[in-house]
Copies of this chain bind each other. A is one copy, B any other.
Amino acid sequence: MTLAPIFRDTTAEITPTRSTIVNDRLLRACRRLPVDRPPVWMMRQAGRYLPEYRAVRARSDFLGMVRTPDLAAEVTIQPVELMNVDAAIIFSDILIVPNAMGMPLTVEEGVGPRFPEPLRSATDLGRLREIEPEEDLAYTLDAIRLVRRELHGRVPVIGFAGAPWTLAAYMLEGGGSASFSVAKRAMHAEPAFLHALLDKLARAVGVFLCAQVRAGAQMIQLFDSWAGALSPADYRTFALPALARAAAIARTSGAPLVVFPHGAPWMLEEVAIATKADVLGLDWRVDPVEGRRIADRLGIAVQGNLDPATLLAPPAVIRSRTRRMLRELDGPGYIANLGHGITPEVPVANARVFIDTVREYETRYEEAV
């Protein structure tokens, strides 16, 4: 089966010669176009499970890597070289946006990311400035340009950002949380403050995603990592309108948009409709049969969703679970992925079993060509 490349290069300023994407499965799948097999990549594929990543990490702390385009580009490309994935996702962190807005950020080994000066009330909104991505987040944009140049169009590059609710929760809590009681207290006691914060974040995130596309990102993803912390009613009132606003700005870039409402399988359809997402990210708790149903009902693509803990299983189990996922989710508009980020303790060989099982799979809806 020969497939015409659909990629149109809009980033001529960074690629000396016009290039076409050699492997355009990802971009075709985003648009529900036929592919020979599903494209595959892994969330957090540029990560600690790779010894080559750990070697770079030994030379720099986490934020240093994020802020040094050479290092960020290097680890971004590693999984393309080593794991044969069909896309590169830029190495970065969702918290760089609040950081660029003026919030000091620390990432300590074993503690995780923290905002030592969390937002406390509406007056703190004054501390947050509007970002100029080309200035405030130039390091990530430069890293994307570097990756595009070095990949020579071999696979597409994915840009990303955190969803407004997830970022707001981090900024209010100061870090991770089990109960989100600080963020929820703000929601109940000062709803106007939370709405204003979400609104600022929606704009920042949308603008940043557009800048990533201008720098060369060919698909973009919004991670709502803490979507599952809110009741459906609270999600609808607070998180979803801001997410939709961020998505509306991001969609002006023309790049296909993935929205990933992590931990909230019950919100999938509403999120897809409100954000007009091209691709809906499915976490591992979503029944793949239901995921396929949503994709076909809404005429969109879906991405996911093997439980990353499966990669700790014996290879035969990884293979059979991956095949089951493929049988249940494959169809027009399908991007194979994990249902959450790959974890540091996964043996590289096991991750390869997952990738290779997808690569050996022959898609079965060719009649759609």
Q: CB within 8 Å of B: which residues of A?
A: 179-181, 184-185, 188-189, 228, 230-234, 264-266, 284-287, 290, 307-310, 312-314, 317, 321, 324, 339, 343, 345
**Residue of chain B at shortest CB distance from A312:** B185
16 contacts between A and B (CB under 8 A): A181-B345, A184-B312, A184-B313, A188-B314, A188-B317, A188-B321, A189-B317, A228-B285, A230-B285, A231-B285, A231-B339, A232-B286, A233-B287, A234-B307, A266-B286, A266-B287
- A188 pairs with B266, CB closer than 8 A: no
Contact of A188 with B310 at beta-carbon distance under 8 Å, contacts A179-B343, A266-B266, A287-B266 already known: yes
Most chain B CB atoms below 10 A, which of A181, A185, A307: A307
Residues of B within 8 A of A317 (CB): 188-189
Residues of B within 8 A of A228 (CB): 285
Contact of A185 with B287 at beta-carbon distance under 8 Å, contacts A266-B266, A307-B231 already known: no
Residues of B within 8 A of A265 (CB): 265-266
Residues of B within 8 A of A313 (CB): 184-185, 188-189
Pick the residue among B230, B231, B285 that contacts A266 (CB under 8 A).
B285
Chain A binding surface SS class = helix
Oligomeric state, in copies: 2
- B287 pairs with A232, CB closer than 8 A: yes
| Min distance, Cβ A232 to any Cβ of chain B, angstroms | 4
Residues of B within 8 A of A285 (CB): 228, 230-232, 264, 266
**Residue of chain B at shortest CB distance from A264:** B285
**Residue of chain B at shortest CB distance from A266:** B265
Residues of B within 8 A of A266 (CB): 265-266, 285-287, 290
Residues of B within 8 A of A314 (CB): 188-189
**Cα distance, A317 to B187, chains bound together (Å):** 10
| Min distance, Cβ A346 to any Cβ of chain B, angstroms | 9
**Cα distance, A130 to B285, chains bound together (Å):** 33
| Min distance, Cβ A281 to any Cβ of chain B, angstroms | 15
**Residue of chain B at shortest CB distance from A308:** B179
| Min distance, Cβ A22 to any Cβ of chain B, angstroms | 34
- B181 pairs with A312, CB closer than 8 A: yes
**Cα distance, A345 to B308, chains bound together (Å):** 34
**Cα distance, A285 to B239, chains bound together (Å):** 14
Pick the residue among B180, B184, B231, B309 that contacts A184 (CB under 8 A).
B309
**Cα distance, A188 to B353, chains bound together (Å):** 15
**Cα distance, A324 to B265, chains bound together (Å):** 23
**Cα distance, A284 to B317, chains bound together (Å):** 34
Given contacts A233-B324, A234-B307, 4 further A-B contacts (CB under 8 A): A181-B343, A188-B314, A228-B285, A233-B287
